[in-house]
Structure 1
Amino acid sequence: MFIEPMLLATAPTSFSDSHYIFEPKIDGHRLLFSQQSGRIRLYTRHETECTQQYPELLVPFDDDILLDGEVACAGPDGVDFEEVMIRFKASKDQRIKQLTISSPVTFVVFDILQYKGQDLRKLPLMQRKEILAGISMPNQHFGVIPFVEGAGEALFDQMVNRKLEGMVGKRKNSLYVSRRSPAWQKIINWSYADVFITGYRKDEFGLLAAIPDESGRLRPAGIVEYVTQAGRKEFYSRSRALVTGDDKNFVHLNPTIRGRVKFRNWTKSGMLRTPVLTELIK
């Protein structure tokens, strides 16, 4: 069974509030664990079934259940988003079997939506948390997210110090709704960098970003897709005189425009992960 998940609004900054609990934000992908009539099926937030990809999670609970959480891989430097994406994209049985050994996943559960045939979504969050805390996890690949009450700013400082993705604040009395809701808010621990704009994509909007390498030469650092309408307008007005050529997919520029971006982290190949343009530097 699939239920549209509850999605997070974005808070502009960390905050503390006695009406909220605060959880670490796990850097994996959303996973719904469904056990109905003893049959287990796993879904992403977009209802893509991924049961085959995570055999270590196909272990039954004592009764039918529907859980919401995040599936993640832990690497030597902490939670590794790229590793869980490798797991998610694997399709051949032998490859999946190998990855369960080299890159095992953990399903970090943060909510329970159904249990023993009962729909729990109209219960307040803290009551759902209490039910979840009383259920035994079936193996070591399952865990329940920890949380603190009220002290969001202190938790966020810990996330920043440990270079983790951020945190989530949830109203204690929130019901589970299948839409984006301000009752659940994410606060991202962004990284920041200044980049040179070396061109832009012709079809779907995107700015080609580059940064200097060790020798001072510019190297590609990714494509910036998240730019406000005002930012796009300013960019196009400044870039017209800088065009040096084009190819099938891109218009290339003399790289004199610089921009400041916020992003999740650097990928292993040195690319910006989900960069957002915050401003064009004058």
Structure 2
Amino acid sequence: MAKRSTRPIDSSAGLPETIAPQLATLARRPPATGDWRYEIKFDGYRLMCRLDSGRVKLITRGGHDWTVKMRALATAIEVPVDNAWLDGEVVVLTETGIPDFNALQNAFDRRSTAQLTFFAFDIPFLNGRDLREVPLSQRRELLGELIAQTSSERERFSESFTEDPESLLASACRMRLEGIIGKRADAPYRSGR
């Protein structure tokens, strides 16, 4: 398969102000064919993170700017880029490292969001390049390298797995996780479902 273009976006256009997230479709069973990667389905809030010249904006799935509500998290995000959009999930982790949705809701209810953690799982834009046509496997490789350069415990890379999805799902259930998400390794980034 030929590599997809990573040509720079029009510099006069700059980094897009908004990007709608790519959404999952519920499936009854894992796909039988294809090159798939699986990630933990976090029990949190979907979050798009816009980084531009050191400024961080945290945007909800519905397009609301929650940077002020998550000031400590915005300050903790230190990805070494000029500009980028990151796609991920914000969670509160238990002492055993499992996402706890009730604790996340309580954090917002109490306006005590200092312990939020952002798990990044995609990067549709990076340093002036529109990566949405680049295969997922390449985007995730770039993202993993960037997150590895940070020292913040509040931003993490969402690891992926290639093992049998049935056994991964069984493990997720034993750990009381919400489930798993399957993604095609060669897929572009498409806003919407």
TM-score (norm 1): 0.57
1:22–1:147 contact (8 Å) kept in structure 2: yes
Letter in 1 for 2:61: R
Counterpart Cα distance in 2 of 1:47 and 1:4: 7
| d(CA) in 2 for partners of 1:163, 1:15 | 23
Alpha-carbon deviations, 1:131-180, whole Å to 9, x = none? Answer: 11211235110110111125211111101111210000001111000110
**How many residue pairs align between the two structures?**
171
| Amino acid across the alignment from 1:143 | R
Higher relative contact order (CA 8 A, sep 6+): 2
* Distance 1:17-1:141 versus aligned 2 partners, 3 A rule: farther
Distance 1:154 1:16 in 2: 14
Q: 1:85 to 1:107 in 2, by over 3 A?
A: same
Q: Unaligned regions of 5+ residues in structure 1, if any?
A: 181-282
Q: Distance in 1 between matches of 2:153 and 2:33?
A: 33
Whole-Å separation in 2 of the counterparts to 1:179 and 1:52: 26
The separation in 2 between residues aligned to 1:150 and 1:33, in whole angstroms, is 29
Alpha carbons 2:80, 2:150 under 8 Å: kept: no
TM superposition score normalised by structure 2:
0.81
Q: Structure 1 residues 16 and 151 mapped into 2: Cα distance closer, same or farther (>3 Å)?
A: farther
Partner of 1:74: 93
**SS in structure 2 at match of 1:70:** strand
More strand by share: 1
- Cα deviations by residue, 1:249-270 (Å, 9 ceiling, x for unpaired): xxxxxxxxxxxxxxxxxxxxxx
Query: Matched residues in 2 for 1:18 and 1:154: separation?
Result: 18
Indicate the structure (1 or 2) with the bigger Cα radius of gyration. 1
- What amino acid is aligned across from residue 37 of structure 1 in structure 2? S
Name the SS for the 2:85 alignment partner: strand
Of 52, 62, 68 in structure 1, the residue corresponding to residue 80 of structure 2 is 62
Report the alpha carbon displacement of residue 49 of structure 1 after superposing the two structures with TM: 0.9
Match of 1:26 in 2: 42
Task: Show the counterpart of 1:6.
Answer: 22
Aligned to 2:124, which of 113, 129, 134?
113
Cα distance in 1, alignment partners of residues 67 and 135 from structure 2: 29
- Partner amino acid for 2:47? L
Distance across 1 between alignment mates of 2:99 and 2:73:
18
Q: Deviation string for 1:17-44 (max 9, x for gaps)?
A: 5510011111001011101232210011
| Correspondence for 1:140 | 153
CA distance in 1, matches of 2:184, 2:35: 6
Give the 3-state SS of the residue equivalent to 1:23 in structure 2. strand
Task: Pick the aligned partner of 1:85 from 96, 101, 105.
Answer: 105
Name the structure 1 match of 2:135. Answer: 124
Divergent runs of 4+, >4 A:
14-18
Indicate whether 1:51 and 2:73 are aligned: no
Whole-Å separation in 2 of the counterparts to 1:62 and 1:166? 31
